[in-house]
Chain A
Amino acid sequence: MDLSLSDEQKQLQEQAERFVRDKYAFDARRKIAATDRGWLPENWAQFAELGWLGMSLSEEDGGYGGGPIETMIVMEQFGKGLVLEPFLPTVVLGGGMIARAGTAAQKEALLAPMIEGKKQFALAWLERQSRYNLADVSLKATKEGAGWSLSGQKGVVYNAASADQIIVLARTAGSARESKGLTLFIVDGKAKGLSRRDYPTQDSLRASELTFDKVSVGADAVLGKVDEGFGVVEDGVDRAIVALCAEATGCMDAINAATLEYIKTRKQFGVPIGKFQVLQHRMVDCFTNAQEARSMTLMASLKIDDKDPVVRAKAASGAKVQIGKSGKFCGQSAVQMHGGMGVTDELSVSHYFKRLTMIDLMFGNQQHHLTRYSNLAMAA
């Protein structure tokens, strides 16, 4: 049992801190969010140069042999800066799923360019009726010669507009909500028959509604095995959840720091409002919540490579419950303690609040994961 960072990990942490400090001041972020893409190609190129796009992939896959701890370190700093570059959909979800389920040819065609910063990905799993159920998929893929034809809709697909390839969860057999009979396809972002409605999200990211109208793909587009895509996507999402939890701990640190600073300087009744015990205790509760969030994220990061899928699932769900709970507490408390300023667009606090709120909803909220954890714990 060892909970200390290695020297290389400490360097990575400093590197990521420096990136956020240099490139993600509050006003700079606002400008990035307002660009066409919603993220900066020069930042993405810098990620590639720093080795971040391949750091968690194995050396056989062309990566640098790191793992979930490296992802955690970088995502935490991204949370502090509310970084907009699509690291989660491209590297953690797309890259990770291709590395774990892809063929040698798929890996060669996709991972090497991803590591160099030349390809981005998106995962299209959600549909309008799915809510948090990963298996609730009605987009259909039917056999068409040697390949497949995809028809149906996907929703809230983050980074779809920038993605070179979109990984699509489709039904190839079975009935709605059945986890058997799902297949993952790697679809070109510009494929014929694929149309998009792009929009910004509450937290300044970019997402799209996708319509697939007889989109043709070859047999080599299948990621993993036909009808057995659910396990791959569930595992990929669990790993993304852990990365997202790290981002949330960074958000909580930042929002707590901003609030602490504010209550030390804002004066009412002739004293800084941080002199009032009722605010002091709420601030301490925020601090404790962030500490617990960090602990659960670390535990999940240490367990997410476990051989046992139940251990991995419990770790991801457990951490997501904590993040949902702590994120809501820190976010709402920060807004409240900032008073009127907390509900403006002018301070960073509302932006962190929005991101924390969306993180809770992403891949299943606190209640969803509590139920999932509970069922897994009861079955054990």
Chain B
Amino acid sequence: MEEVIFGSNIMQLLIALILVSTFMILGSTRLYSCVRAFGIQSFLLACVAGVVGFSTGKYDLYIIALLTLLLKAAVIPYIFIYIIREIKVKREIALYVGISPSLITGGILVVISYYLIRSINAITGLSSFALSASMSLVSIGLFVMISRKKAIMQMLGILIMENGLFLGAISLTNGMPLLVEIGVFFDVLIGVLIMGILIFRINKTFETIDTDKLKTLIG
């Protein structure tokens, strides 16, 4: 059954687009466009959930799709924009790794993920395509957290990883039980709120959200 769903052209297209949106985050130098790319990614994810729901006939996946749309594509980006506006941070993201090396690294990570999933014998067929995309999202999210200086980007990185996990979960199980999904959404929302508050506190205490400056906590 899985093969039918994920083999369908529309799924392949959606997953490819998700990867593209991830590269948009890697490739942009401005906070706003990063947040926008993240919104697009979440929107595409909601579409994936919807398509899976449609083709398997599990209607609770529609609710999940709706929640994804609402939370990840609307509320969380709004929180980001609110934070950026409130703390009057410079709109450019500060980098450790330049744009082009970042993009190349992202590409390498996708390739590694692809081979990784291929070499796990248990997962065969076309769902491995979604799974390797999910693996790429997780590793690229981690890479974003490493290579960007601003605390907001660390927050964004962790959300990309979360999206990757969501994609992986949906591709492996065709949608987890609703209760679990709602729990996860709640976690993400609370996580974002707490991280947002932390960023405010960091900004207030150190007058910067550049994590490069926070290096004194060593033994």
A and B assemble together: no
Binding site for B on A (CB under 8 A): none
Binding site for A on B (CB under 8 A): none
